[in-house]
Structure 1
């Protein structure tokens, strides 16, 4: 399944969209649109397998944030609020306005902000391996956790990790401070849409009690664990796609009652 690739310029910043849908149906009438947002240092490639699985039944858009995935560096650090706004504006510029926002790692912070700022465009939110547990918010601890996670990710994902990190190093270093400062445990309480928190059971970065706590802080939150490491969406792409689809359908049925 070949994705349509477009680079959008918003407020002088480049955002790249990779759109894929069943039988190539890229029109906006195929609702909802599942938007996939990568973590720090990464790109759309961290959702390659899960996007392929999701695109069998949904219109999907996988995003490359400014300075990542080979895009030009933003030249400055961008707050999670700026990134969340950019994501929604970029996707809406292509006709999508009924969104399931899926963010992994730092991307969970981004989509939380997107949902907080644009509630009318967002139907539900999926936080995959949301960072960062309160007690781990320091650079040495984060680096240690990332190193430990690498041992469990597997050859393919480690290849993506290394190559994506190398080409995004400038923006990576700029985004570390905003990511470390971000208080997800507070902002998730402002998201009124249904929130699903997904954790990999072997994830050394996102501890179980933290992930459960994030779901509990969301007004309409729930929690699910799948076997796997930090990038659990790529370890089990079909199961993850099914989970996202079932979550969306359950919320739709709830809204009809």
Structure 2
């Protein structure tokens, strides 16, 4: 994370060995604060979470991961499946000895988070899913590509540059194999086993997951609510971090006892509770 922000110098990188894979972790490493682990989506890396991570670091011990094959980590021999990535994520939490962390996933990262919690619910105190994939009504490559293109037209230029840079770093073949793993996963089944409290956040201008799918996912979760952000695109954590932090503040206070309170215009958020 760059040194231009007053909170950026709080973050340091460590390379961990987890289950035979390397994982780079960009974190604050601040014992005593409630821990949060940020999980990127398809082809992305920890830097995608930088703006949101800096806000969270005011009140939490924050860790943004580069899972095996993503960002700065070495590429394993094959593109990992969602369950393999979920297992690696839980291995990171164990290696860091984090107690009762909250997992935060974006896009495909939501599938990884759901898998990790479904298989190790006793480890985690809660989860936040931002723009969760994959909509069962659009579980094919052409539709997903079209939705990503539509969202790209709505994102700021800097966000698109970051996305393309990370995609190129991952490589097209590994990216394609990972897309197949993403489409084969069934988060509508996995979420049923996520018994800890959850929050799903969706921008109302985000075409990647449909409104119907997001509401269906929340309804299938044993204990989750929905927050919608007005004029929000898919990359809420990158281009609307203040609004995202405000939407999550009440939930984080409930599950960790601490929550960021950035100023955000009341009109930027709407709430759908107890679906």
Report the TM-score, using the length of structure 1 for normalisation.
0.92
Q: 1:17 aligns with which of 25, 30, 50?
A: 25
Q: CA deviation at 1:82?
A: 1.5
- 1:68 and 1:171 in contact (8 A); partners too: no
Return 241-250 or 231-240, whichever deviates more.
241-250
Aligned to 2:179, the other structure's residue is in SS state helix
Moved over 3 A (4+): none
* Match among 173, 186, 189 for residue 192 of structure 2: 189
Tell me the equivalent position of 1:151: 153
Aligned residue in 2 for 1:214: 217
Within the candidate set 254, 263, 272, 1:250 is matched to: 254
Contact 1:74–1:171 (CA under 8 A) maintained in structure 2: no
Give the superposition deviation at 1:171.
3.0
RMSD (CA atoms): 1.4
The DSSP-based 3-state class of the residue aligned with 2:80 is coil
Larger CA deviation: 88-97 vs 175-184: 88-97
In 2, Cα distance between the equivalents of 1:56 and 1:242?
13
Q: SS of 2:31's equivalent?
A: coil
Distance 2:124 2:19 in 1: 22
Q: Alpha-carbon deviation of 1:188? A: 0.2
SS of residue paired to 1:5:
strand
Q: What displacement does 1:242 show?
A: 3.1
Correspondence for 1:237: 241
CA distance in 1, matches of 2:242, 2:68: 28
Give the corresponding residue for 1:135.
Answer: 137
Could you tell me which residue of structure 2 aligns to residue 65 of structure 1? 67
Map Cα deviations across residues 113-163 of structure 1 (whole Å, 9 max, x no partner): 111111121000111100011111111111111111111110111111010
1:174, CA displacement in angstroms? 2.2
Once the two structures are TM-superposed, the CA of residue 252 in structure 1 deviates from its matched residue by 5.7
Alignment coverage as a number of residue pairs: 247
1:198 to 196, 201, 213: 201
Question: Who is 2:90 aligned against?
Answer: 88
Post-superposition shift, 1:33?
Answer: 0.7
Q: SS at the partner of 1:7?
A: strand
8 Å CA contact 1:113–1:187 kept in 2: the answer is yes
Pairwise CA distance, 1:176: 1.0
Residue-by-residue CA offset, 1:50-84 (whole Å, 9 max, x unaligned): 00111111110001111111322222132212111
Q: Tell me if the contact between 1:28 and 1:95 (Cα under 8 Å) persists in the aligned partners.
A: no
Which residue pairs with 1:23 in the alignment? Answer: none
Give yes or no for contact 2:27–2:64 (8 Å, CA) kept in 1: yes
Gap runs ≥5 in structure 1: 21-25
